[in-house]
Each structure stands twice: as C-alpha cells, then as structure tokens.
Structure 1
Amino acid sequence: MKSRIYALFILAALFSSNILLGQSDKQKKLEAQRQQILREMKQFRALLFDKEKEEKSEITLIEDLNYKVNKRKNLIRITNEQANLLTREINANQKEITSLREQLKELKEDYAAMVVKSYKSKSEQSKVMFLLSSSNFKQAYKRLQYIRQYANYQKEQGEAIKAKTQELQELNLQLSKQKKDKQKLIEENRIAKRELEKELKERETLMASIKADMSKFAAQIKKKKQEADRLDREINRLIREAIAASNKKAGKKTSTGKFVLTPESKKLASNFEANKGKLGWPVSRGVIKGKFGKRRSLTDASVTNNYKSIQIATETNAEVKAVFNGEVSEILIVKNGNPAVLIRHGNYLTIYMNLSKVYVKKGDKVSTSQVIGQVFTNKIRGETLLGFRINKNNQVLNPESWLAKH
C-alpha cells in the first residue's frame, strides 16, 4: 500500500513539473515576442528621428501614428499574457508547495513508523535468527530478499524526503522571482498604457483635421492607389513575360504560369525555399510599416486595398540589397514613377520597388547582400519607403514570413 502511495506521489510530481516546464516555454516565447516589438518600436523611433526636420504630410503622420498605436497595443496584449501566465504559474507553484508540504509530512511519518518497526524487529529477533528459522533454503533466500528490499525501500524513502525538501526550497525561490517579474511587467504595462493614451489622442486630433478637408486627402489616397495598382499590373506583366521567355528558351511551351526549371535553377529555387524565415532584409535598418494583404484605408474605412507587397520604412539614402543569389530578370521603369528591380531565384522572384538609383542591369548575376540600388525618399510625404514583394511563379507570397526576425 505504502509503495503504491509512493509511486503515485512520484507520478504526480513528474506531471506537475511537466506542466510548469510547458508554461515556462510559453513564457519564453512571449518574452521573445515582446522583445521583438520593443526592438521594432526603437528602430521606428530612430528612423522617425532621422526625418524629424523634414516636413511630413498628414497622411504620413497618421500612418506613423497608426504604426505606433498598433505596436503599442500588441506590446500591452503580450505583456498582459505574460502577467496572466505568471499568475497561473504562481498559483500552480503555491498549490505545488502546499501539496509538497503535505507529502513531506506523510513521507516523514511513514519513515518514522518504519524506523520504529525496524528497531522493534531488531530487538525482538535478529536478522540472523530470522534467516535461521527458515524451514528450507528457498524460504531463507526469500527472507534475505525481503530484508534487502525493505532496506532499499527505507533508503529510497529517505532520499525522497531529501529530494522533495530541496524541490520545495527551489519552488519557494522560483515563486519569489515570479512575483517580482510580474510586478515589473505590471509597471511596464502602466507606462505603455499611458503612452498609448497620448498616441490615441494625437491620432484622434489628426484624424479630425483630415476629415475636415476630406476631399483634398481623398484625391491623394486615390492617386496613391492608382499608382500602386499600375505598378502591380506592370510587375505582373513582366513576370508573365519572363516565364514565357524562359520556357521558350528551354524549348517548352506552357501556359500554366510556371517556370520550367533546369537542374541548376531547380537547385537555386530549392535553396531559396529552404531559407524561408531566414532571408536577410533588403535594407540594413527598417521596419514594416505597410503589411501584405487586404487592409482598410486609415482615412476612409469604406475603402479596402489588397497589397501585393510590404512597405519597409527605412533611413534616407538607404542602400537596397539582394536577399538571395539570383539573376536580374528585369529593370522596370514606370512613367512618372520610380524604378523597380526583379531578381529571379529559380521559380521565385524578389521585387524591389521605389528606388532612386539602380546599380545593376538585366541579366546580371547577383549574390546575397549585394547592393543593387538606393531607396527613393519622398520629400513631399517625408518618408523613405521600400516596396518589397516575393513571387513563386505568378503566385504572390507574403514577404514578411520569408524575412528573418531582426
């Protein structure tokens, strides 16, 4: 019976330690996310500081504010998750400590009873007499085994008491640290919430100013959307033409919208694909200000845009770098617009838009991190934005999931 209780005790301890380990892993992931947001916010502030002397348009200001508000909300959300998780861990540890104390009490009582019993058995009958009184050799052997097992069990009980006492001490230390960590997170969240309130008020004031002269801004937004749509159409056309030309050169006629790959280009594509989530950034310093996919207009909620690329805010005169080995497929020159560079990596393409200077030409072989141009700075809007897009054949992909965290 006692051995069964002891076994159950061990299983319960292992189960609870696994739960705490899982929670600790989740806490690490949350902390990594929180640090990532803090780095992005710091970098964004640094980029804004570089441009503080430049006159910014209201649209750019509202976009900057919206970026900060969204990041701040995410920071508060993750910090809340961390604090809540710590609360659960603290409660679990407190329950574990209470349970351990009860189990230790039971183990010590069990151990004390065993010692008393062992002492009495020694006084009543020695181990030798116990063995000699056996009716046959088999019984004597079994009695010897029993004596050894009893001694081992007694030793295990002593070691269990020692181990659980140490575990209890460690849990108490862990609990103390968790309480301090939680208090620190709560204080950081208070500061973040105060900053968020200021940014929301600032955004509200700016939005009121924009709505007061909506006709003026609606024209700006419409023009910007038309330019983006025109650029997307041109890029799509160039990709279709590149696929057709490449397949024709390879002696293949296909209308599937996919590159027919040679062994060399197939290997390049495979290497590119293997680096998903690990590609270097196309600029040394930058944050993703404009996300990929469908997004509502900040100034007109009835307008939804479907973005095929991400917009990376960077510093003035930022150099643009190829994110992977490849070949320059095309240099796109748009009337009244800024150049774009298309680089092919097997059946993948990376597209770098809104450049002021281009240092490569069609057909050039480029290597990872090679500088291919410079980002254009819009003096009217007061921003330096690189458009970055990734395609697999004619399929548009989300570039953010391909870039490494930085």
Structure 2
Amino acid sequence: MKFIKYYLLLSLVFLMNFSAFSQTRKQLENQRKKYKSEILKLNKLLFNEVKKEKNALEALKDINRKIDVRNKLINTINLEAKLLTNEINGNERKITKLNKELKALKADYAEMIYKSYKSKSQQSRLMFLLSSQNFYQAYKRLEYTKQYTQFRKKQGEQIQVQANFIKKLNDSLFYQKKVKDTLILVEKNQKNEIESDKKNQESLISQIKKKEGKYKREIQRNAKEERKVAARIDKIIKEEIAKANRLALSKSKSKTNKTVVKKSSSFILTPEAKALAAKFELNKGKLPWPVKEGIVVRKFGKQPHPTFPGIIINGTGLHIVTSNGSNAKAIFKGEVLNILVGSGGTKNVLIRHGNYITSYNNLENSFVKKGDKIEVGQDIGRIFTDKVSKKTKLVFVLFKNTTRLNPASWILKR
C-alpha cells in the first residue's frame, strides 16, 4: 500500500514538472515557428525578386532585418535546447531510480512466489485451516489466505504498472533527444545563413561608405517629399471635415457660427456616425490588416535611421511591404471620403469611419470612388510595385479627426 502511494506521488510530481516544462517549451516552440515563418516571409517579399538597380541602402536595411530575425531564432532555439537538456537529464535520473525500484520489486515478488509455491498444496492449506483451535481462528486463517492471494495479485499489477511507466519515460526520452538533435541542426543551418548574410552586409556597408553623401541627400529629399505629401493630406482632411460639418449643420438647421465650422478640426457626428466611431474604438487591437500578408518595414513615429546615426526619420503611418499584385483592403466599414492622386500618379484612398479616417496610400489604381459605402475586407485598389526595387509597398495611415494615430495599436498583432 505504501508503495502504491509513493508511486502515485512520484507520478504526480513528474507530470507537474513535465507540464511546467512543456508550457514554457510550448511558448518557445511557438516563438521559433513564428521566427521561421517571418524569415520565409522576408525571403518572399524582400529577396524573391532580382532588382534591376540595387539600392545599397535599401538592401542593407533588408539584410540587417533578416540577420536580426535569424539571431532571435537562434536565441530561441538555444533556450528551447537548454530546457530539453534539463528534461532529458531529469528523465534519465527518474528512469535510473525507477529501474532500481523495479528490480527490488521483482526480487521481492519472486521470493514471495517461491515461498508460496512451497506451501501451495491443497493439503497444507487444509491442514492450516483444520489445525485451528476454534471456528473464529479458522475464519481468520481463511481470510488471511485470501488477503495473501490478493496481495500477490496486487504486487504483480504494481510490477506491470511500474514497467509501463518506465516504458513511457523511455519513449519520452527518445522523442526529446530527437527534438534536440533537430534543433541543433536548425541552429547550425541558421548560423551558416547568417555568415552568408554578413558577407553581403559587409559588401553593402563598403558601397554605402563610398557614396555616403549621396545617400544622405537622398534620405533628406525623400523626407522632404513625405512632409509635402503629409501636409497635403492634412489640408484635404481639414477641408473634408469642414465640408462634412457644413452639410451636417444644414440638415440639422443649427445656427452655429459658420466661421467656427470652417476652422473646426473635428467632425460633427450624427448619431449614426457616433455609433460607427464607437464600434471602431471597441475593435482597437482587433482590426484586420490592410493587406493579406505583409511585413512592416517602417514603424509609426520618429525613429533613428537604421544605417546613419544622428538622422531621424518620421513614419506618418505603417510602411507595409506585401506580395506583387496585392490589393489594399478596408480594415473597417465606412465611406470613401476622398481619393488623392500623387505626383507619380499613385492614388491615396481616404475612408471615413465616424470621426476616424484610414488612409491607403501608394495605390496603382483604385476600385472605389468618392462617396462609396465600404465593407470590412473590401478591396480598395491595387498596390503599386516599384519597377526598380520590385517592392510592393502600402503606406497605411490612421487619423482621429486630424490627429495621426499609431496603426500598429489598432490592427491585430502578427
């Protein structure tokens, strides 16, 4: 009985430890899969096409990104392998201890069987009962023989349970060793890939240093162009807000000062628009991405330039690279507020959701027109693919009235 309690306690402790390890290892396994998936996506979206003219600055940024993800993958593999080593060592100790216990249990059982065999004859059992001094003693002796038989049976079952448990531990140990061997192989492959990437990285850094002035001027020129585009969008949004407010007031026959309306930077919301804005807010962090698949290559807000220290770049929204031929998709239902045309002929579709506006910039063409009602996931337009870099990039911006918000806080995390 003591052995059974001990065995059950040992099993419980093992399962609890295994569960705790598994939970942590499961998280690491999911993280490893995520990084592997990200590397595949990077290769597909940033390195799949052969560029006609290689922009060393852009190429370096892409290489650095891939090296960073590979390093994260290797760190995750190392943590996972360390946990597996702890599990394997723990299992080996448990198996050694259980085998000793099983050996002792089998020896004890064999001795008991031998003694039982020597006194097994019906005659000796009958004599054992008949030699009782009274009926009560005979009854007790009969009960004893029954209990002895049950004990033998139970001990045999204990041996079987113990043997099965050891087999399961051995199977688990074998699987863990295979997983660890696979992880070591993956880590080795990733290190080889990083070495190859670093050679490309060094070559690109050398090219950039030779033309550093040229690249810095290019960055400043692009930043100036982006500021002009942002200012134009801000102006259009303010005009659209004023126009929408005038329309809302004319319908409500309000005597609000027209000058105040013209200078207003916030939408006057109808009950329907207010309800739509409330639903938009309730979906913060759960809104779908504006592309089927993509990688954010520039985040929202001010950030240091990835190559040149001291240069600050500003992201008005999210710059998302996606696959060639992809369409931009509406992240929420609303109405097309306006469609702007850029200097290079690319389009920017603005969709209003109450007092929120989503902007889908750098479209080759648009499938919608001003005033159209839009549903969640609806295709807005084909995203432009740069003929030189071969990158298909959407600039996705989010406003509340005239204030820019970080779209990453509103869409689902990938």
TM-score interval w.r.t. the shorter chain?
Answer: 0.7 to 0.9
Deviation at 1:399?
2.6
Query: Are 1:309 and 2:317 an aligned pair?
Result: yes
Match of 1:220 in 2: 218
Tell me how far 1:169 sits from its aligned partner. 0.7
Q: Secondary structure at the match of 1:361?
A: coil
Q: Give the corresponding residue for 1:396.
A: 405
What letter is aligned with 1:311?
H
Is the CA contact 1:210–1:217 (under 8 Å) kept in the aligned structure 2? yes
Task: Classify 1:130/1:83 alpha carbon distance in 2 versus 1 (closer, same or farther; 3 Å).
Answer: farther
Q: CA–CA distance in 1 between the matches of 2:385 and 2:206?
A: 27
Structure 1 equivalent of residue 359 of structure 2: 351
Structure 2 counterpart SS, 1:354: strand
SS of the residue corresponding to residue 351 of structure 1 reads strand
TM-score, normalised to structure 2, is 0.75
How far apart are the structure 2 equivalents of 1:18 and 1:82? 19
Give the C-alpha shift of residue 180 in structure 1: 1.9
Q: Deviations over 1:323-379 (max 9, x none)?
A: 343332443445678432233445654332222222223332122332211222334
Which residue of the other structure, out of 49, 54, 69, is the alignment partner of 2:67? Answer: 69
Matched letter for residue 224 of structure 2? Q
User: Where does structure 1 lack aligned partners over 5 or more consecutive residues?
Assistant: 135-139
Matches of 1:368 and 1:126, distance apart in 2:
88
Q: Contact conserved, 1:56 with 1:383, CA < 8 A, in 2?
A: no
SS of 2:313 mapped into structure 1: strand
Match of 1:265 in 2: 276
1:18 equivalent in structure 2:
16
Q: Which residue of 2 aligns with 1:137?
A: none
* Equivalent-residue separation in structure 2 for 1:91 and 1:32 (angstroms): 23
Matched residue, 2:136: 133
Matches within 5 A, 1:289-300: 289-292=297-300, 295-300=303-308
Q: Equivalent residue for 1:201?
A: 199
Change (3 A) 1:61 1:268: same
Is this contact kept in 2: 1:328–1:362, CA < 8 A? yes
Kept in 2, the 8 Å contact 1:390–1:398? The answer is: yes
Q: Which amino acid aligns with 2:42?
A: F
- Greater Cα offset, 297-306 or 111-120: 111-120
Alignment check: 8 A CA contact 2:327 2:381 kept: yes
What amino acid is the match of 1:7? K
Q: One-letter code of the match for 2:408?
A: P
Which SS does the other structure have where 1:283 is aligned?
coil
SS at match of 1:224: helix
Structure 1 letter corresponding to 2:87: E
Is the CA contact 1:37–1:71 (under 8 Å) kept in the aligned structure 2? yes
Residues 171-193 of structure 1, C-alpha deviations (whole Å, 9 max, x = no match): 21221222122112212211211
Count of equivalent residues: 394
Q: Deviations over 1:41-99 (max 9, x none)?
A: 33333345653152232222112212222222222222222222222221222122223
After TM superposition, the structure 1 = structure 2 runs for residues 46-195 of structure 1, keeping only pairs within 5 Å, are: 46-48=44-46, 51-105=49-103, 108=106, 133=136, 158-195=156-193
- How many angstroms does 1:148 deviate by? 9.1
Greater shift in the superposed pair: 235-244 or 300-309: 235-244
Q: 1:400 to 1:354 in 2, by over 3 A?
A: farther
- Corresponding residue of 1:376: 384
Q: Secondary structure at the match of 1:378?
A: coil
Q: 1:360 & 1:102 partners in 2: Cα distance?
A: 76
CA deviation digits over 1:81-128, x for unaligned, max 9?
2222222221222122223324434655676788799999x969669x
Shift in alpha-carbon separation, 1:191–1:151, aligned structure 2, 3 A:
same
DSSP 3-state at the match of 1:221: helix
Aligned equivalents of 1:321 and 1:288: distance in 2?
16
- Equivalent residue letter for 1:402: I
How far 1:239 sits from its partner (Å)?
6.3
Q: Partners of 1:386 and 1:230 in 2: how far apart? A: 18
Aligned to 2:208: 210
Residue equivalent to 1:34? 32
Q: Please identify the structure whose Cα radius of gyration is greater.
A: 2
Give SS of 1:363's match.
coil
Which residue number corresponds to residue 290 of structure 2? Answer: 282
**265 and 205 in structure 1: CA distance in 2 versus 1, 3 angstrom threshold:** same
For residues 132 and 75 of structure 1, do their structure 2 counterparts lie closer, same or farther at Cα, with a shift above 3 Å needed? same
CA 154–131 in structure 1, closer or farther in 2 if over 3 Å, else same: farther
Query: What is the percentage of aligned positions where both structures have the same residue?
Result: 33
Change (3 A) 1:323 1:204: same
Aligned to 2:39, the other structure's residue is in SS state helix
1:404/1:274 CA distance change after superposition, 3 Å: closer
Query: 2:192 corresponds to which letter in structure 1?
Result: R
* Ranges in structure 2 where 5+ consecutive residues have no aligned partner: none
User: Which letter does structure 2 place at the counterpart of 1:64?
Assistant: D
Inter-partner Cα distance in structure 2 for 1:90 and 1:289: 41
Q: Is the 8 A contact 1:325 1:345 kept in 2?
A: yes
Q: Distance in 1 between matches of 2:134 and 2:318?
A: 84
Contact kept, 8 Å, 2:284 with 2:410, in 1: the verdict is: no
Q: Write the letter of the residue equivalent to 1:296.
A: P
Q: What SS does the corresponding residue of 2:368 show, helix, strand or coil?
A: coil
Letter of the aligned partner of 2:181 in structure 1? Q
Letter matched to residue 184 of structure 2: I
Contact 1:339 1:354 in 2 (8 A): yes
Partner SS for 2:321? strand
169 and 156 in structure 1: CA distance in 2 versus 1, 3 angstrom threshold:
same
